[in-house]
Amino acid sequence: MTGRWSTRSGPSRVDYIRWAKENVGVGEYPLTMSAVPPVDWKEVGIDPRSLELFEFSRYGDEELLAGIAGEWGLTSDHVLLGGSASHAHFCCAAALLEPGDRVLQEMPGYLPLLDGLSVLGVETVPFHRRFEDGYRLPVAELRESVRDRQVRLLLLTDLHNPSGVALTEEERRFLADLCEDSGVTVIVDEMYRPFIEPDPGPLHRLHDGIIAIRGLNKVHGLSQIRVGWGIGAPAVIERARRVLDGTTIHNSCLTDQVARQAWRVRDRLVERARRIAAEGNAILGDWLRASPLEVVEPDGGLVWFPRVPPSVAEDGDALRTAALRVGVNLTPGRFFGAPSHVRVGCALPPPALREALRRLAGALPGFAR
C-alpha cells in the first residue's frame, strides 16, 4: 500500500471544484461535461408558475423520501436528503468521524469527496485503482490496510469517477464482507450507477455498514437543482440529520418541489440519460480506440479517462493546452490524482461531439485518421 498518511484540517485544498466553476464556457467544445444536458420545465412536467415560495418540510419532502426508500424496499428513516449529493456525503461522513480518524480514498478518484472532510481533521491515505488492472479494487491491499491501520471510513465511487468502471458483483460482496469482518464503514458515491441497466440498487442493501450516495444531477438533467441523498442505517442517518441541522437547517422548498416531480417521472429522465450516454460513448469510444491515447473502457456513464503517452504530450495539462488551441476543453487528470491522464466527457450532442473530436485529432501527434 503506497501513499503517505496526512492530517488535513482547514478549508478546501483541492482545486477541481474552483477550476470547474471558472472553466464554464471555456472552449467552443466543452468535453469537460460530466452530466447529461439539462432538462426543461416541460420534460419534468412542471409549470414554474405553480411553485410555492413556502412549503415546510423537516428533513425533505415526505413523498420524495418515501419514494426513494420504497423503490429499494426500505423506509424513510434510511434516507438523508441533502442540499446536494456532496452535502449528503459530508453529513453522513461527519456523523461517523472524529478528529484523527483514518480514511481511505481511492486514487485516481473524485477528490472533492475527501476534500469536504478536511475541516474534520481526519487522517487520509490513498489506495490505488490501477490503470494496468482495469481499475479493479485491490482487494487484498484493502483488507490489509483496513486491518492494520484501524481505518474508520473507506470512500469509493461506483461507477468509478473518473474511469467509469463499475464494481463487479464479487467486489460488491467483498465490501459487505469487509464491513462485517472489520467494522469499517464504506461510503460509495453512486451518482453514475443508474446509467447502467439493470441498476442493482444502492450498495447499502448488502450491509448496514455501507452508505450509498445518489442524486438527481448527473443522470436526471437537474444539475443546478442540487438535490442528493444518502441511504444508510437509520441510526447513522439520524446522526447525519443532526449534521444537516448545523450546516443548512433544511433544504430549499423550491428544490423539494422540483425534485418531487422529477422523481415521479424519473423513469423517463433515466431513459433519456441512457440514450444520450449510449450515443456519446459509441462516438467517443470509436475515436479513442483509433487514437494514440491509452484507455480502459468504461462500463457506462459519460466520461472516459485516457492515459496520455509521452509521444503525445508531457501530461494531461499539456494535452489540454493543445486542445484549447483548437477550441476543445478537457479536464486534466491531476484533479483526480493522475497527472498523465485527461477526463473526456461525451455528453455533447452527436454533431458537436464529432466536430470536437475531429478538431482534437488534429492536435494529437500520431493520430491514425
Sketch the domain layout of the chain as residue ranges.
6-37+267-362, 49-265
Q: Can you give the pTM of this predicted structure?
A: 0.93
CATH class of the domain defined by 49-265: alpha beta
**Given the C-alpha cell 483514518, which residue does it identify?**
102
DSSP 39: P
Query: Is omega for the bond preceding 350 within 30 degrees of 0, making it cis?
Result: no
**Given the C-alpha cell 486514487, which residue does it identify?**
107
Strands 102-107 and 123-128, sheet pairing? parallel
Residue 69 is placed in which grid cell? 426508500
Give strand pairing partners of 229: 81, 214
pLDDT of residue 11: 56
Dihedral sign for Cα 312, 314, 315, 318, please.
negative
pLDDT of residue 251: 87
Give strand pairing partners of 188: 156, 212
pLDDT of residue 307: 98
Which strand (E) or helix (H) includes residue 82? strand 79-82
pLDDT of residue 13: 63
Residue 171 is placed in which grid cell? 467486489
Distances, alpha carbon 333 to alpha carbons 34, 221, 299, 304, 337, in Å = 14, 24, 19, 11, 7
pLDDT of residue 4: 43
Which residue from 343, 284, 276 is spatially nearest to 316, judged by alpha carbons? 343
pLDDT digit of tens for each residue in the chain (369 aa)? 334 444 445 555 668 888 988 888 889 999 999 999 999 999 999 999 999 999 998 999 999 999 999 999 999 999 999 999 999 999 999 999 999 999 999 999 999 888 778 888 898 889 999 999 999 999 999 999 998 888 999 999 999 999 999 999 999 999 999 999 999 999 999 999 999 999 999 999 999 999 999 999 899 999 888 899 999 999 999 999 999 999 998 889 999 999 999 999 999 999 999 999 999 999 999 999 999 999 999 999 999 999 999 999 999 999 999 999 999 999 999 999 999 999 999 999 999 999 999 999 998 887 755
Number of CB atoms found within 10 A of residue 279's CB: 15
Which residue from 135, 129, 136, 112 is spatially nearest to 21, judged by alpha carbons? 112
CATH class of the domain defined by 6-37+267-362: alpha beta
